[in-house]
Amino acid sequence: MRHLLDTTDLTLEEIDDMIALATDIIENKQKYAHVCDGKKLATLFFEPSTRTRLSFEAAMYELGGNVLGFSSADSTSASKGETVEDTVRMVSNYADIIAMRHPLEGAPRVATTRTLVPIINAGDGGHAHPTQTLTDLLTIYREKGKLGDITIGLCGDLKFGRTVHSLIKAMCRYKNVKFVLIAPKELQVPDYIISDVLIPSGAEYVQVESLEDVMPTLDVLYMTRIQRERFFSEEEYLKHKDAYILDLKKLDNAKKDLTIMHPLPRVNEISTDVDDDPRAKYFEQALNGKYIRMALIMTLLKWGGNLEY
């Protein structure tokens, strides 16, 4: 049995296989409509979510399976003090696979010590969000036809944005990826991303504050939300909240084939007038999330000997 706690749990070949499976699902939906008949996915969301939870649920339904779970810890025995270990051990009696989001970094790893079924990390604190990263890789692959030889700008809250941390860890494994890290100094990536991820990978990277200055160089622009819930004070959040707002004017000197991404939800980082620009791909990205999660559910169930396809 295998779990997905971070994208580094997967080899590049396994990621390629999952992207290929997701692509086949997109092109041949009917072929997969009963693959998970009789299987159950539990969605344990101790922290709010729209896309991740609903796309997991839609994914399982479209594979013919069923879903149980909760969208808030308030309605569960966690509010009475039940531990993550006990919750997961018990839920793993009821479901074939578990997708779990938790505000505490490492909670999904703790869950793997007690579960009887595969655990998928659907986001843990400011640490990692591997299924968002698989979504992002599928989106980049579908837009660019490759995952290497790309200059990617990551803009906004690079300190607390777990999607950014996971995406850097994944993309630096491909050849000739250049990272342009665009953030105010206080919101730059944590030091460990530089020392333990970027430097050992040999990937080229620059840290800048101005989005306008680097715009012409970018193949992909990954905008992110300033993560209000992870700031220590409201004052700190307010200082940074509108640090970057992408609008059509700022795209004047961007490449014609730029791919604009955002894990969503957006607050104010991308003006709605950008939505109709053909380079805006964030809603397609959210849709891709459903297809890659279908591929992931199938793959983990197969690796656990609980599915044949």
Give min distance, CB of 272 to ligand CP, in A. 18
Closer by beta carbon to ligand CP, 123 or else 125: 123
**Known catalytic membership, residue 101:** yes
Catalytic residue among 53, 101, 165, 173: 101
Task: Please report, as ranges, the residues that interact with ligand CP according to CB under 6 A.
Answer: 49-52, 123, 132, 263-265
Indicate the residue among 36 and 264 with the shorter CB distance to ligand CP.
264
Output 57 or 96, the one with its CB closest to ligand CP: 57
Q: Could you list the residues known to form a binding site for L-aspartate, using ranges.
A: 80, 162, 225
Annotated active-site residue 250? The verdict is no
256 part of the active site: no
Task: Tell me how far, at minimum, the Cβ of 123 lies from ligand CP, in Å.
Answer: 6
Q: Reply yes or no on whether 51 is catalytic.
A: yes
Identify which of residues 121 and 214 has a Cβ nearer to ligand CP in the complex.
Answer: 121
Where is the binding site for carbamoyl phosphate, in residues?
Answer: 51-52, 101, 129, 132, 264-265
Q: Is 80 designated active site?
A: yes
Q: Which amino acids are annotated as binding site, given as ranges? A: 51-52, 80, 101, 129, 132, 162, 225, 264-265
Q: Which of 80, 185, 256, 272 is catalytic?
A: 80
Buried (b) or exposed (e) across 209-218, using 16+ Cβ within 10 A? Answer: eebeebbeeb
3, 127, 129, 281: the active-site residue: 129
In three-state form (DSSP H/G/I as H, E/B as E, the rest C), the secondary structure along the chain is CCCECCHHHCCHHHHHHHHHHHHHHHHCHHHHCCCCCCCEEEEEECCCCCHHHHHHHHHHHHCCCEEEEECCHHHCHHHHCCCHHHHHHHHCCCCCEEEEEECCCCHHHHHHCCCCCCEEEEEECCCECHHHHHHHHHHHHHHHCCCCCEEEEEECCCCCCHHHHHHHHHHCCCCCEEEEEECCHHHCCCHHHHHHHHHHHCCEEEEECCHHHHHHHCCEEEECCCCHHHCCCHHHHHHHCCCCCECCHHHCCCCCCCEEECCCCCCCCECHHHCCCCCECHHHHHHHHHHHHHHHHHHHHHHCCCCCC
* Catalytic residue of the set 7, 43, 52, 259: 52
Q: Are 115 and 98 a contacting pair, CB within 8 Å? A: yes
Nearer to ligand CP, 132 or 188 (CB): 132
CB of 212 to ligand CP, least distance (A): 26
Report in angstroms how near the CB of residue 309 gets to ligand CP at its nearest: 27
**Token pair belonging to 265:** 């939800």
CB of 50 to ligand CP, least distance (A): 4
Q: Return the active site residues.
A: 51-52, 80, 101, 129
